[in-house]
């Protein structure tokens, strides 16, 4: 490690010791001690939940999961439908499917592996999460690169090459400034800095412990970095969902394990997610009445979903779900919106 790299890591760790955020999945006194097997479980669980997701959104879900399933063994023993329902609303549902697969693999082998390489082989753990768990939960010296680190490093070293091409150079610089000791604290410090000081827009350089080391600040325009490729336009989709009600219950299906909202309970629909637009064909014959439409914006498409009340007998797999317990069905946000529309139309 060069002298300037040590200057950076020392300054950041010193800042972290004073200003680290108090988060439920972090160190004592609020969380178990590192020697407790509950500690790697909580670190792993929080890291998976935090993928592409804000701290504020994760907090209530983390509390619910730890209360329902205090250990990885408890989670491993859970029914998939329970886990998916508990995850409902948090998004990126493949994370929940892989979370359960991972819990079962870990329970079967008697605990989490401790090396980055072994962690990388578990479902749902990519380069980032494997490195983060190795460093934070097991004290390994691993180089942790997430969007915060990319932003901080791009500014520190004034890397003007656009993402994603700049990732190689960013990783090399991150490797240089990651200390041998306290790599987990260093990673969390970079994330705290990125979330609170070195923010994407309007960075608060006057509060930054690395301001004196920052090449982008010296050049005068840190907010310009990192440069990103322009996004592609978001396609517009149309679809229909069907509200089939009987005796105070609504017909729900479970979506296939892959693809959009995979594994989640849902209203039956016309296949809009598998095709660009749905077929608009109802799953059963019978009288139809439009209840209105719901707008929903996903990462890669915007959807207008028409909700149609259907009089008829459903066929295929599904379940009658009591309306008074609809909140417990674990519908993803799109279908939760549709259910609210139906209940409002119903008066």
Question: Catalytic residue positions?
Answer: 47
**Which is closer to DNA, CB of 127 or CB of 286?**
127
Calpha distance 174→85 (Å, rounded): 38
Closest to DNA by CB, 64 vs 234, is 234
Residue 260 binding DNA, by CB under 7 A: yes
325 is a contact residue toward DNA (CB under 7 A): no
Q: Which range in 175-183, 281-289, 293-301, 314-322 contacts DNA by CB under 7 A?
A: 293-301
Alpha carbons 78 and 102: distance in angstroms, whole number: 12
Examine residue 9 and tell whether it contacts DNA (CB under 7 A): no
Of positions 104, 141, 167, 171, contacts DNA by CB under 7 A:
167
Which of 107, 147, 137 has the alpha carbon at shortest distance from 123? 107
How many other C-beta atoms lie within 10 A of the C-beta of residue 288? 14
Interacting residue with DNA among 112, 153, 332, 341 (CB under 7 A): 332
How many residues of this chain bind DNA (CB under 7 A)?
63
DSSP per residue, 167-212 = HHHHHHHHHHH--SS-HHHHHHHHHHHHHHTS-SSS--GGG-TTGG
Residue 333 binding DNA, by CB under 7 A: yes
Q: Torsions phi, psi of 167, nearest 5? A: -60, -35
- Candidate ranges 75-83, 106-114, 286-294, 332-340; the one touching DNA (CB under 7 A): 332-340
If one asks whether residue 19 binds DNA (CB under 7 A), the answer comes out as no
With respect to DNA, which residue has the nearer C-beta, 26 or 141? 26
**Sign (positive or negative) of CA dihedral 271, 88, 76, 21:** positive
Q: Which pair of tokens denotes residue 193? A: 């800095």
Q: At what angle do helices 38-49 and 94-109 cross, to 10 degrees?
A: 160
DSSP 213-240: G-HHHHHT-GGG-S-BPPPPPPPEEEEE
Contact between 194 and DNA (CB under 7 A)? yes
Q: Which stretch binds DNA (CB under 7 A): 54-62, 206-214, 243-251, 312-320?
A: 54-62
Task: Report the site for DNA in 93-112 (rule: CB under 7 A).
Answer: 93-94, 98
DSSP state of 342: H
Chosen residue from 60, 111, 164, 292 binding DNA by CB under 7 A: 164
Q: Does 143 bind DNA (CB under 7 A)?
A: no
Distance of CA 325 to the CA centre of its chain: 26
Q: Is 142 helix (H, G, I), strand (E, B) or coil?
A: coil
Q: Which stretch binds DNA (CB under 7 A): 3-11, 68-76, 281-289, 298-306?
A: 298-306
Q: How far apart are CA 21 and CA 27, in angstroms?
A: 11
- Cβ at position 313, least distance to DNA in Å: 29
CB-based contact 101:123 (threshold 8 Å)? yes
Would you list the DSSP string of 14-36?
Answer: HHHHHH----TTSSTTTS--TTS
Pick the stretch among 147-155, 175-183, 209-217, 279-287 that binds DNA (CB under 7 A).
147-155
Least separation in angstroms between CB 319 and DNA:
19
In the list 82, 104, 128, 140, the residue contacting DNA (rule: CB under 7 A) is: 128
Q: Which residues bind DNA (CB under 7 A)?
A: 23, 25-26, 46-47, 50-57, 88-94, 98, 123-130, 132, 146-148, 151, 164-165, 167, 188, 191-192, 194-195, 200-201, 228, 230-232, 234, 259-262, 273, 296-301, 332-334
């Amino acid at each position: 490690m060069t002298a300037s790299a040590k200057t950076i890591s020392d300054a950041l760790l010193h800042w972290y010791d004073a200003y680290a955020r108090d988060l439920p999945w972090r160190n004592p006194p609020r969380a178990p001690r590192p020697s407790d097997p509950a500690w790697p479980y909580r670190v792993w669980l929080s890291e998976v939940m935090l993928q592409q997701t804000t701290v504020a959104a994760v907090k209530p879900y983390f509390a619910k999961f730890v209360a329902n399933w205090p250990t990885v063994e408890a989670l491993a023993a859970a029914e998939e439908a329970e886990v998916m329902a508990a995850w409902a609303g948090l998004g990126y549902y493949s994370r929940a499917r892989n979370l359960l697969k991972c819990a079962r693999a870990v329970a079967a082998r008697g605990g989490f592996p401790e090396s980055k390489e072994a962690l990388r082989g578990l479902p749902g753990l990519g380069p980032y999460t494997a490195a983060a768990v190795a460093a934070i939960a097991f004290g390994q010296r691993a180089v942790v690169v997430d969007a915060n680190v990319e932003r901080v490093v791009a500014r520190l070293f004034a890397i003007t090459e656009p993402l994603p091409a700049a990732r190689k150079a960013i990783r090399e610089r991150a490797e240089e400034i990651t200390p041998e000791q306290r790599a987990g604290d260093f990673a969390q410090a970079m994330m705290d800095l990125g979330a609170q000081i070195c923010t994407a827009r309007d960075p608060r350089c006057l509060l930054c412990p690395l301001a004196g080391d920052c090449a982008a600040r010296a050049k005068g325009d840190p907010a310009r970095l990192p440069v990103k490729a322009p996004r592609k336009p978001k396609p517009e989709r149309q679809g229909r969902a069907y509200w089939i009600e009987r005796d105070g219950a609504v017909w729900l299906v479970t979506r296939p394990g892959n693809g959009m909202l995979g594994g989640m309970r849902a209203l039956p629909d016309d296949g809009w997610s598998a095709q660009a637009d749905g077929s608009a064909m109802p799953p059963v014959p019978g009288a139809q009445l439009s209840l209105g439409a719901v707008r929903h914006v996903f990462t890669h498409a915007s959807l207008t979903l028409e909700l149609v009340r259907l009089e008829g007998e459903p066929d295929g797999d599904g379940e009658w779900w009591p309306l008074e317990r609809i909140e417990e069905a674990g519908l993803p946000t799109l279908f939760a919106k549709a259910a609210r529309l139906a209940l409002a139309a119903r008066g």
